[in-house]
A and B are shown apart, each in its own frame.
Chain A
Amino acid sequence: MQQTLKKPTAATSAPGPESQTRPAGPEGRGLRAFLGQVWAIAGKDIRAELRGREVASATWVFALLVLVVFNFAFDLEREEMGPAGPGMLWVAIVLAGMLGLSHVFTKEREQSCLEGLLLCPVDRSVIYFGKLAGALIFTLALEVAVLPVFAVFTSLPVFTPGPLLALLLGTVGFVAVGTLFAAIAANTKTREVLLPVLLLPVAAPVVVSAVAVTGLSFDGEPWSELVPWLGILAAFDAIYLVLSPWLFDQVVHELGPE
């Protein structure tokens, strides 16, 4: 109820003070305006979530459930946590993160806010990066909330540079493709069901690499062992951060008022 009133105003006020300085080029003022517009869209999503707290608590509890179900499924002893831990952590994060991602565009669609968002006098890539920033902050917050519980359950050293860097790089790539595919899935007949089917195969390199970095770092391997994996994660991030804004433009081309 509260959201139906709030969100369109947040969307239309998004360009606000920056509307005079449309993103003209890569010079300082244009970039500042661009970031301001991105932040206006991301901030709108974060405010809506902070007021409603619909998705955050549900995805967090879901992630904990995945950890608990793993324990039932494999009945792990303490010494088995080392090999199983990275996989448990990443399955929990990927599944819970996907649950959150599927809301990024369905809530816009259900309250027909997408049209308003697309009517904003901003570049379409601003909408993509705004949505990406919102989803990224949301997913990182979810991870921050899951990690302490995971550490308690498994007694594994998660708060070390290796796993944290893998989480950061892995999440950026996963959310970059996830935001694009969420826009696609939200506008099909099957909606939420389609997002995991589309996203999981494409995100396979992220899962493989992030699990590898986390596992090697739990085993106390030196950085030289982690670098190739971090390289794959960084390459995945770079490729899809460049490709997705253009592809997103092609997706909303079909949805928005021309």
Chain B
Amino acid sequence: MRAVAGPSNLSLGGAGSRLQRALLAATLAVGLLALYMAFVYAPKEATMGDVQRIFYFHVGAAWTALLAFFVVFVGGLAYLRTRDRRWDALALSSAEIGVVFTTITLATGSIWAKPAWGAWWTWDPRLTTTSVLWLIYVSYLILRGAIDEPERRASFAAVVGIVGFVDVPIVFLSIRLWRTIHPVLVKSQGFDMEPPMVHALLAALLACTLLYAYLLLVRTSLERRRLEVEAARQALGFHQG
């Protein structure tokens, strides 16, 4: 029951790397296209000017972060059902990438907020929710670092990953309600989008999602190889620690 990561999918290396190369090529192609669309194809925004162009990758990163945390949730549920540590490897990889994309969202948002709103940071509902999200998944990674036993680490992390994702809509609702009662000086960004802007946004969303898929594949296969090495060491009689 405690035996994990059997030798069942040793073939993953070859097929994985072919898929990896295809994904890398697609990510690079769509990424370049998205950059072109954001900086050249999309028109200059009337009131905010060129700064607004950060919007495309800002939204792309935010969407990808949510997708990544959803995968942490699904990976956690699947781990608790099957106790197969490959699901835990998926959840861990997705959490790390999700934190990176959340950091990108916060950083680009802050850079955009300075010229648009006049301050690096406001306690706007979206900003506040995103920062709470960042804290939840950083604490998820800190928890993983605080446990040595692999099975215990996987179970505890799955539980926190599930609780954290279920919390996201409640956090958003409560913070939005909080901000509608205390009026904000800054209105929410309600610019009507021209069709080229929509196209650029879609390209950025696709590019970020492809980048996520590529990173997830690389990180997960690294983690799975680590599990295989660990299983081999145990089979040979080397014990951890």
A residues in contact (CB < 8 Å) with B: 177, 180-181, 184, 187-190, 194, 197-198, 200-202, 204-205, 208-209, 212, 216, 228-229, 232, 235-236, 239-240, 243, 247, 250-251, 253-255
The residue on B at minimum CB distance from A247 is B159
Residues in chain B near residue A235, CB distance under 8 A: 170
Q: How large is the interface on B (under 10, 10 to 19, 20 to 34, 35 or more residues)?
A: 20 to 34
Whether A184 contacts B171 by the Cβ 8 Å rule is no
Q: Within the complex, which residue of B146, B160, B171 is in contact with A205, where a contact is CB–CB below 8 Å? A: B171
CB distance from A170 to the nearest CB of B (A): 12
CB distance from A258 to the nearest CB of B (A): 8
CB distance from B137 to the nearest CB of A (A): 9
Q: Within the complex, which residue of B152, B155, B177 is in contact with A232, where a contact is CB–CB below 8 Å? A: B177
Whether A232 contacts B173 by the Cβ 8 Å rule is yes
Whether a CB of chain A sits under 8 angstroms from the CB of B204 is no
The residue on A at minimum CB distance from B178 is A208
Whether a CB of chain A sits under 8 angstroms from the CB of B228 is no
Give 15 CB contacts A-B under 8 Å: A180-B159, A189-B146, A189-B147, A194-B146, A198-B160, A201-B164, A202-B163, A204-B132, A204-B167, A204-B171, A205-B170, A212-B178, A247-B163, A253-B155, A254-B155
Residues of A contacting B: mostly? helix
Whether B159 contacts A184 by the Cβ 8 Å rule is yes
Whether B135 contacts A201 by the Cβ 8 Å rule is yes
Whether B181 contacts A212 by the Cβ 8 Å rule is yes
Given contacts A202-B136, A205-B171, contact A251 B159 (CB under 8 A): yes
B residues in contact (CB < 8 Å) with A: 80, 132, 135-136, 139, 142-143, 146-149, 151-152, 155-156, 158-160, 162-164, 166-167, 170-171, 173-175, 177-178, 181
Whether A201 contacts B147 by the Cβ 8 Å rule is no
Q: A201-B139, A205-B174, A250-B158 are in contact. List 20 more A-B contacts (CB 8 A).
A: A177-B163, A184-B159, A188-B143, A188-B146, A188-B147, A190-B146, A198-B139, A198-B160, A201-B132, A201-B164, A202-B164, A204-B175, A208-B178, A209-B174, A212-B181, A228-B177, A229-B174, A232-B177, A243-B162, A254-B156
Residues in chain A near residue B162, CB distance under 8 A: 243, 247
The residue on A at minimum CB distance from B131 is A201
Residues in chain A near residue B170, CB distance under 8 A: 205, 232, 235-236, 239
A236–B173 CA distance with the chains assembled, in angstroms: 11
Whether A197 contacts B152 by the Cβ 8 Å rule is no
CB distance from B189 to the nearest CB of A (A): 23
A208–B155 CA distance with the chains assembled, in angstroms: 29
Given contacts A232-B177, A250-B80, contact A202 B155 (CB under 8 A): no
